[in-house]
Chains A and B, each alone.
Chain A
Amino acid sequence: MAKSIYEEYTELPQKLLDEVKREVEAHNLKGDQVKRVLDRVRTEFENAMISPGEAIGIVTAESIGEPGTQMTLNVFHFAGVAEVAVTLGLPRLIELLDARKEPSTPRIEVYLEKDISKDPVKVKRVAASIKETKLWEVADEFTVNMSQSRIEVYPNKSKMRDFVITETQLVKMITDLLKNVDARANKDFISIKLKAETFELKELYQLREKVRELHVKGVKGIKQVLPIKKDNEFVVICVGNNLKEVMKTEGVDFKRTVTNDIFMTESILGVEAARQAIMNEAIEVVENQGLDIDIRHIMLLADVMTSLGTVKGITRSGITGEKESVLARASFETPLKHIVNATLKGEEDKLNSVIENVMLNQEIPVGTGLPSLIAKIKDQK
C-alpha cells in the first residue's frame, strides 16, 4: 500500500523518491504525513526546475572558468606517502579540457578481487605481477666474457623469489625474446651467446644492454606500483597507462579498475566510460583544490566533450572547430582560415547561435531572446 503512494509522483526522479522513502521511514511518518511530505517535495522540485531558455552553457563555463582563476599552479599531489606524483590544479584541468592524448602523469588505480584485496601479502604479490620488471632488477651483474665471447648474467636468488621467477623461466624468456641468441643456465650464472658465427665485439656490448632491459615480468609500461589502503581494502596505484593488460592480470577486479587516461578509457571501455572518466578526473581536481562546483556543470562539460561520439577537447580543433556557424568559428581563433574555407564551400551561416547575432546587433536566441510570437493570420479572401 505504501508503495503505491510513491508511484503517484511520477514526475519526481527515482533518486529523490528513494531519499524521501528513506527519510520517511527513518522518522516514522505515516500515511497522511507521507503524502504531505511528498507534496512539499514535489512543490520544491517544481520550483527548482530549470527554466527553458536558460543559457546553461555559459553558466557552466562561468562556473568552471571563474574558480579556475583561484586554482594553484604547479601542484603535485602525492597519493599517499610515496612518490606517485599526480598533476592537479589548473594544469590538470587544462590538460583534461584540451583532451590531450596522454596525461602528463598517467596513473591506474587497480582494485583487486574481494578475497585478495584485504590481505596485504596477496596484494603485494598481485602488485609485483603488475609492475614491469626488467632483467637488471632481478640480476646482480652483467658481464661480457671476452674469452668465451659470451655474456654472463648473475641472477639474484632472493630478488627472484620476490618476483616469483625461476632460473629456467629466465633462460626461456631470454631465448624467446631475443631470437638470435643461445642461453644456457650455468651454476650461478646464465650464459648468453650470439647465434651468428662471426660478430664484432661492439655487438656483444649492445647485446648486453639489450639483455639488461629485457622485460621479464609484469605489464609493459607500468613503471611503479604502490599498494595503498583505501576504505578498508588495498588498492594498487600504478604509474603508467597500460589499462588493457592490467585488467587482464589475474586477481585484478577489472570492473572497478580505472585510469586517469581519458583516451585509453575511451578506446577500451567506450565513450560513455570516457565521459565518466572526465567527470571523475575533473571532480578530483576541483575537490583537491578545496573548491566547490556543482556536479551538473562538470556533467554538462563531459557531455559536451563526448556528445559527438568521440572525446573532443574544448579547443579550436575540437568542440569549437566542429561548430556549424562560420562566424562562430571565425570569432574564436584563426578567423581567416575559416572564412577562406567557407568561401570555397559556399557555406551558409544560418545565424542560429549567439555570437553571430551579437556581431549583427540582433537578438540572441537564448534567454529572453528565445520566445517569439506565432500569430495565426486568417486567409484574406
Chain B
Amino acid sequence: MTEEYIYKKIGSIFFGLLGPTLIKKMACVKIVTPELYDKEGYPVDGGLMDVKLGVIDPGLRCKTCNGKLKECPGHFGYMDLARPVIHIKYARSILTFLKYTCRECSHVLISHEDLKKKKTFKEGGKCPHCEAKQYKVKLEKPNTYVENDVRLSPIEVRARLEKISDEDVELLGVDPKYARPEHMVLTLLPIPPVTVRPSITLESGERSEDDLTHKLGDIVRINQRLFENINAGAPEIIIEDLWDLLQYHVTTYFDNAISQVPPARHRSGQPLKTLSERIKSKEGRFRYNLAGKRVNYAARTVISPDPKIKFNEVGIPLIIAMELTVPEKVTSWNTEWLKKLISNGPEKYVGANYVITGDGKKKKITDDTREQILTDLVPGCIVERHLIDGDVCVFNRQPSLHRMSIMCHKIRVLPGRSFRLNPGVCTPYNADFDGDEMNLHIPQTEEARAEAEILMQVQSHIITPKNGFNVIGCTNDAITGNYLLTRDLSLSREEAVQMLYSIGIKEFFLNKTKEVDGKDVFSALLPRDFDFIGNSRDGRIVKIERGKLVEGIIDKATIGEDNGTLIRALYAKYGEDIGIDLLGKLFRLGIAVLLKTGFTTSISDTDLPEDVVQKNNNLTVQVEKKVDELIQQYRDGKLDSMPGLTVEETLEKMILQNLNSLRNKIGQTVFEIIPEQNSTILMAKSGATGNILNVAQMAASVGQQALRGGRIRNGYIGRTLSVFEKGSLSPSAKGFVYGGYRKGLSPTEYFFHAMTGRDSLMDTALRTPKSGYLYRRLSNALQDLKIEYDHTVRDANGNVIQFKYGDDGIDVHKSEGGKINVLKIVKEVKTYG
C-alpha cells in the first residue's frame, strides 16, 4: 500500500492568552513531584519527565498517543500553583488595568459622557461611576504592585482583574475573547512536553537535563514546600518568603534576563537558557530555526577553478557524487538501468544508496539486502541513485547578497576533492580560490528541479537586475587572449584549426589560406547572421558583419563583465542557451590563445631605460621645488587662502595636488616608454587586470599615501615620525613614497604605506556588519512586495505601493539598463529596412 500524504495548509494563526480552564484541558497529566526518575532510572509518574508527556527515547511508545519517537509530538502537562503568581511578560499590561479601573467597582475610570466625547483616561481622583476615591498604583519592578504604599498581593491583583467587565477590557485595548486580564496572573502553570526539553544521555550513561527541566524542577519544588507550609499553617512571613521565591522562579522561567532579577544560574555559574532566551536573537527560534532551516542533500567543500568546464557546470568530487543522491522513480522504462545501479550499490560509482519501497519504507542497499531489494523492485519504488553528469544542482556561496549568489548548475563528476567552477562565474558569486568554500544542494522533487532549471540556471542570470549589465563575461586571461588574437596575431591554418577544435568547435569556416588572421579565428565562433557595431575601450569602432569581425579589437568593453556590449548583443539575439554557449567558447578561445602563444608577467616588465628614470627624477625634483616654494610662501605668510579654507588647509590642498599630478606625470612617461608587447601593459590595456597606474607604481614611484582625504597627519608633536624635523611639511615627512615597489620602500615610506593599508582594512572590517544590517532591514521590509497581475506593485495585504512598477513596468533584467534602445532600432530600420 502506498502511503497517502494529506497535505494541509495552515490558513491562519491566532494569538491569545491561555486561561486555567484551557491549560487544564490541553494537559494530559498533573505534575506533583519534583523528582524526575526513580531508583531504576524510570520516569516518576507525576514527575517532570512523566511518560505521558511524550517520548524522547528511541524504541519507547508514548503513554498518551501510543506514538513512537518522531511520531508523537509531545503533550502538555500542568501544575497547580499554591499561590497565584504574576506573569512577568504581562507586568506592564496588568499595571494599566490596575491604573485605569476603579478599585471598588472595577469600571474604567471614565464616565459614559466623557467616553462619548472621546476624552482620554485619567488616573487617580474619584471614580466617576461609584465615587470611590482612587489611589495611585505603581509597579515596583519587576513584579510587585504598590497602591498608596500598600503592597498588593497577586491574589488581590487577580481579584481586581477578574471583576473587570468584558466591555471595559476592550476599552483598554485588549480583546477579552482572547485575553482575559486575570489570565495574566497565573494560577496554573502549563508544563511543556518533554520533546521540548529533551534530556541527553552522556557517554558515561549519566543523564543531563535541559535548562527548562531544571527550572521547572525548581518551580515544582518550591511550590510543594509552599503547599506544605500553607497546609501546616506556618507563619505568614515564611509563606510570604516562599511565595516570593516561587514568583522569582516563575519569572526566570519565562525570562532569565530581566534587569532587576538576578539570573538563575547553573552550578557552573553560567545563566540558564529559559523560554525567552530560546526565542530571542539570532540564535533564537525565530531566526535560527524558523526563518532558516537545516537541509539534507547538501555538500560543502573548497572551490577551485577549471576554465575547461562550461559556465553552467560545476565539477564535483566523486566521493560527493557517491554520497548525495537523486530519487528516481522506478518505471517500466528505467527498471533495467536502476537495477544495474542497485547491483552496483553504494560502494561502486554510479550506484545507489537507498531504495524506498512502495509502502514508504527506506531500505539501505548493502551486500546483504541487495538481492532482496532487486527482486522486490517494482514500478512505484524510488531508487536514490548517485549523481551523474547532467544532474541539476543548486550552487551557493555566502554571503548570499543577491540572487546570483544561488544559481543552478549541471553536475560534472570529476576526480579530486574540490568543487570546480568556471572562473567566469566568480564575479556573481564574488568568489576567489584562496580557500573559499561553497555549498551545493540537490533538489529532490520534480517541481524543485524544474524550477531550478528554468529559473535559476547560470544563463538566466548573466544580466543582473541591479542595472541591466552582464555580471558574467570574459575575465583576466580570456580577455587578454582575445585581445591578442584580434589585434595582430596570425596563425597557420593548422594551428587555427587545432585551436578551434580544442575548445570544442567542430564546425567552422576558415579561409583556405595558409596563414589565418586572428580576426578570422575569432569570427569562426560567431553565428553567420550576426551583425554588431560597438566600441572598444579606447573608443574605436568594433564592427561585425555577417558573423565576421571586420574592424576593431576585442577587449573588455565588448566581451568583459559589466558592460560587455558584444555579449549582451549575442545574448539578446540568440537567447540564454546559445548566448552562454558562445560566451563559453569566447572564454575558452582566449585561454587557448594564451596557451598557444605563451604569456607571462615578470619583474622585467617594469624595466625602465636610463633616460626615463632620469626624466622621472627631473619631474620629481621639479615638483619638490614647487612644493618647497609653496611651503616657503606659507612660512612667509604670503600664501592666499582659498575660499572657505584656512591657510594651512590651502597649503595642504595645493601640495597634495602637486604630488598627485607628479604621480600621474610619472605614470604617463612610464606608459609612453614601455613597449606594446609588455605583458603588464597588455593586461591593463585590454582591461583584463590592473591599470597603467599600477605599472607606474611598480616601476617608478608609489606616490602619495593618503589618509582620510589628506596627507599623513602628525602623530608626534609637530611631526609624523620622530626621524623627521619638527614642523616639517616636506613630501617625505608627510607620506610621499618616492620609491616604486620594484626598487623598494624606505623604512619611513614603508610605515606610511602600512598606515594606509591598515586604514583600508579597518574600513572593510567596520563596513561589513553595517552594510549587512542595512541589507537585512531592507530585505525584511521589502520581501513581500510583488508584481500583481495588473502590474501594480503591492505588499502582502494588497496595499498598492506603485501603480505601475518603475512608472513604465519595464523589468531591468529584461531590458538594456531599464531602457528600450530606440536609437538602435531606428538605425537598424534605416539600414536594413
Q: Look across to chain A and name the residue whose beta carbon is closest to the beta carbon of B815.
A: A48
Residue of B with least CB distance to A307: B801
* A47 to B811 Cα, complex, angstroms: 9
Q: Is B401's CB under 8 angstroms from A69's CB?
A: yes
Q: In the complex the two chains form, what is the Cα distance from A165 to B58 in whole Å?
A: 93
Q: At the interface, yes or no: A200 with Cβ under 8 Å from chain B?
A: no
Does A110 have its Cβ within 8 Å of any Cβ on chain B?
Answer: no
Decide: B782 and A304 in contact? CB cutoff 8 A: yes
Determine if A53 and B787 form an interchain contact, defined as CB atoms under 8 angstroms apart.
yes
A82 in contact with B777 given A62-B402, A343-B17 (CB within 8 Å): no
Cβ of A352: which chain B residues have Cβ within 8 Å of it?
A: 784, 796-797
Residue in B90, B290, B709, B772 whose Cβ sees the most chain A Cβ within 10 Å: B290
B22 part of interface (Cβ distance < 8 Å): no
Whether A72 lies near B829 (C-beta < 8 A) is no
* A-B contact sample (12 more), CB < 8 A, given A82-B645, A301-B778, A368-B451: A36-B833, A41-B825, A63-B464, A73-B767, A300-B802, A330-B286, A346-B178, A350-B11, A352-B797, A355-B780, A356-B13, A365-B796
Q: Report, nearest first, the 3 A-B pairs whose CB atoms are least far apart.
A: A82-B644, A346-B178, A57-B785
Please determine whether B785 and A56 come into contact, CB atoms closer than 8 angstroms: yes
Ordered by A's residue number, 26 sampled pairs between the chains whose C-beta atoms are within 8 Å are A13-B807, A23-B822, A29-B826, A37-B829, A50-B787, A50-B810, A52-B787, A58-B403, A60-B782, A61-B775, A62-B466, A65-B402, A72-B767, A74-B708, A82-B643, A82-B645, A226-B644, A300-B806, A307-B801, A318-B781, A345-B15, A347-B14, A349-B14, A355-B783, A368-B451, A368-B455
The segment out of A148-156, A249-257, A260-268, A332-340 that lies at the interface is: A332-340
Partner of B820, one of A33, A48, A55, A81: A48
How near does chain A come to B346, taking the closest CB pair, in angstroms? 29
User: Is residue A344 contacting chain B, with contact meaning CB distance below 8 A?
Assistant: yes
Bound CA–CA A15/B808 (angstroms): 9
**CB of B809 within 8 Å of the partner chain:** yes
Query: Cα distance A49–B791 when bound, in Å?
Result: 9
- With both chains docked as a complex, state the minimum distance between the C-beta of B275 and any C-beta of chain A, in angstroms: 9
Q: Which of A67-102 contact B (CB under 8 A)?
A: 67-69, 71-74, 76, 81-84, 90, 93-94, 97
Contact B782 A335 (CB under 8 A): no
Tell yes or no: A374 within 8 A of B by CB.
Answer: no
Q: Give the number of residues in A that approach B within 8 Å (Cβ atoms).
A: 109
For residue B50, give the distance in angstroms from its CB to the closest CB of chain A: 27
B761 to chain A minimum Cβ distance, whole angstroms, is 12
- Could you tell me if B830 and A331 are in contact, using CB atoms closer than 8 angstroms? no
User: Are B805's CB and A300's CB within 8 A?
Assistant: yes
Rounded to whole angstroms, the CA-CA distance of A94 and B771 in the bound complex is: 8
Q: Are B818 and A296 in contact (CB under 8 A)?
A: yes
Distance of A353 Cα from B798 Cα, bound (Å): 10
Question: Hey, which chain A residues are within 8 Å of B16, CB to CB?
Answer: 343, 346
Partner of A354, one of B89, B783, B806, B810: B783
CA distance A343 to B15 in the complex (A): 5
B175 an interface residue at 8 Å Cβ cutoff? yes
A binding-site residues for B, Cβ under 8 Å: 13, 15-16, 19-20, 23-24, 27, 29, 33, 36-37, 40-41, 44-45, 47-69, 71-74, 76, 81-84, 90, 93-94, 97, 224, 226, 292-297, 299-301, 303-304, 307, 314-315, 318-320, 323-328, 330-332, 335-336, 339-340, 342-356, 358-362, 365-368, 370
Given A299-B806, A342-B15, the answer on whether A29 and B786 have CB atoms closer than 8 Å is no
A84 surroundings in chain B (CB, below 8 A): 644
Cα-based distance from A224 to B644 in the complex (angstroms): 9
Q: B643 contacts which of A29, A81, A318 (Cβ < 8 Å)?
A: A81
Q: In the complex, A87→B796 CA distance in Å? A: 35
User: Smallest distance from the beta carbon of B748 to chain A beta carbons, Å?
Assistant: 25
Q: Which listed residue, B15, B469, B644, B823, touches A23 by the CB 8 Å rule?
A: B823
CB of B818 within 8 A of CB of A358, answer no
Contacts of A295 in B (CB 8 A): 806, 818
**A349: chain B residues within 8 A (beta carbon):** 12-15
B604 interface residue per 8 A CB criterion: no
- Known A-B contacts A90-B767, A336-B280, A343-B178; the reply to A314 vs B778 at CB < 8 A is yes
Residues of chain B with a CB closer than 8 A to A65's CB? 401-402, 771, 774-775, 778-779
How long is the Cα–Cα vector from A315 to B827 in the complex, in angstroms?
A: 48
Asked if A63 and B466 sit within 8 Å, CB to CB, the answer is yes
- Give Cα A365 to B9, complex, Å: 13
Contact A97 B777 (CB under 8 A): yes
Closest CB of chain A to B828's CB: distance in Å? 8
Q: Could you tell me if A61 and B782 are in contact, using CB atoms closer than 8 angstroms?
A: yes
On whether the beta carbons of B644 and A83 are closer than 8 Å, the reply is yes
A54 to B465, CA, bound (A): 12
A6: min CB distance to chain B, Å: 13
Contact A55 B465 (CB under 8 A): no
Closest to A79 in B: B644
Q: Which of A71, A292, A319, A368 is in CB contact (< 8 Å) with B781?
A: A319
| Closest Cβ neighbor of B464 among chain A residues | A63
In the bound complex, residues from chain A placing their C-beta under 8 Å from that of B179 are: 343-346
A62 CB contacts on chain B under 8 angstroms? 401-403, 465-466, 779
Are B783 and A57 touching (Cβ within 8 A)?
A: yes
Chain B residue with Cβ nearest A337: B89
Question: Is the pair A71, B644 in contact by a Cβ cutoff of 8 Å?
Answer: no
Cβ-based interface call for B630 (8 A)? no
B residues within 8 A CB of A55? Answer: 783, 785-786
Contact A19 B778 (CB under 8 A): no
- A307-B799 in contact (CB<8A): yes
Which B residue's beta carbon lies closest to that of A356?
B13
Contacts of A331 in B (CB 8 A): 286-287, 290-291, 780
Closest A residue to B466 by CB, please name it. Answer: A63
Q: Does B768 contact A (CB under 8 A)?
A: yes
A304 pairs with B642, CB closer than 8 A = no
Residues of B within 8 A of A20 (CB): 822, 826
Instruction: Provide the bound-state CA to CA distance between A355 and B286, in Å.
Output: 10
Closest approach, in angstroms, between the C-beta of B179 and any C-beta of chain A? 5
* Chain B 384-409 interface 0/1 with A at a Cβ cutoff of 8 Å (1 = within): 00000000000000000111000000
Kindly state whether residue B512 has any CB partner on chain A within 8 Å.
no
A222 to B799, CA, bound (A): 40
CB-nearest residue of chain B to A77:
B709
Query: Are B826 and A347 closer than 8 Å at their CB atoms?
Result: no
Across the interface, which residues of A come within 8 angstroms of B276, CB to CB? 336
Contact B783 A353 (CB under 8 A): yes
Residue from B402, B801, B810, B827 in contact with A304 in the complex, judged by beta carbons closer than 8 Å: B801
Given contacts A19-B822, A354-B796, contact A359 B810 (CB under 8 A): no
In the complex, residue of chain A having the shortest beta-carbon distance to the beta carbon of B9: A362
Q: Is B5 an interface residue (CB 8 A)?
A: no
Do A90 and B771 touch across chains, with their CB atoms under 8 A apart? yes
Q: Is the CB of B15 within 8 A of A346?
A: yes
Q: Give B173-187 as 1s and 0s: 1 = Cβ < 8 Å from A's Cβ atoms.
A: 111011100000000
The answer, yes or no, to whether B77 is at the interface (CB within 8 Å) is: no
B763 closest partner in A (C-beta): A73
Interface pair B826/A353, CB less than 8 Å apart: no
Q: Does B331 contact A (CB under 8 A)?
A: no
Asked whether, in the complex, the Cβ of B825 is within 8 Å of the Cβ of A81, the reply is: no
Could you tell me the distance between the alpha carbons of A370 and B775 in the complex, rounded to whole angstroms? 25
Enumerate chain A residues within 8 angstroms of B291, measured Cβ to Cβ: 331, 355, 358-359
Question: Would A303 and B455 be within 8 Å (CB), given that A69-B771, A345-B174 are in contact?
Answer: no
What sequence of 0s and 1s flags, for each residue 1-33 of chain B, a beta carbon within 8 Å of any chain A beta carbon? 000000001111111110000000000000000
Smallest CB gap from B7: residue in A:
A362
B361 at the interface (CB under 8 A from A): no
User: A37–B464 Cα gap in the complex (Å)?
Assistant: 27
Is the CB of B615 closer than 8 A to any CB of chain A?
no
Q: Are B782 and A57 in contact (CB under 8 A)?
A: yes
Q: How far is the CB of B176 from chain A (nearest CB, A)?
A: 9
Q: B817 on the interface (CB 8 Å rule)?
A: yes
Tell me whether A348 and B767 are in contact (CB under 8 A): no
Per-residue interface assignment for chain B, residues 645 to 686, with 1 indicating a CB less than 8 Å from any chain A CB and 0 otherwise: 100010000000000000000000000000000000000000
Residues of B within 8 A of A351 (CB): 10-13
With a CB–CB cut-off of 8 A, which chain A residues contact B645? 81-83
List which B276-293 residues lie within 8 A (CB) of chain A: 276, 279-280, 284, 286-287, 290-291, 293
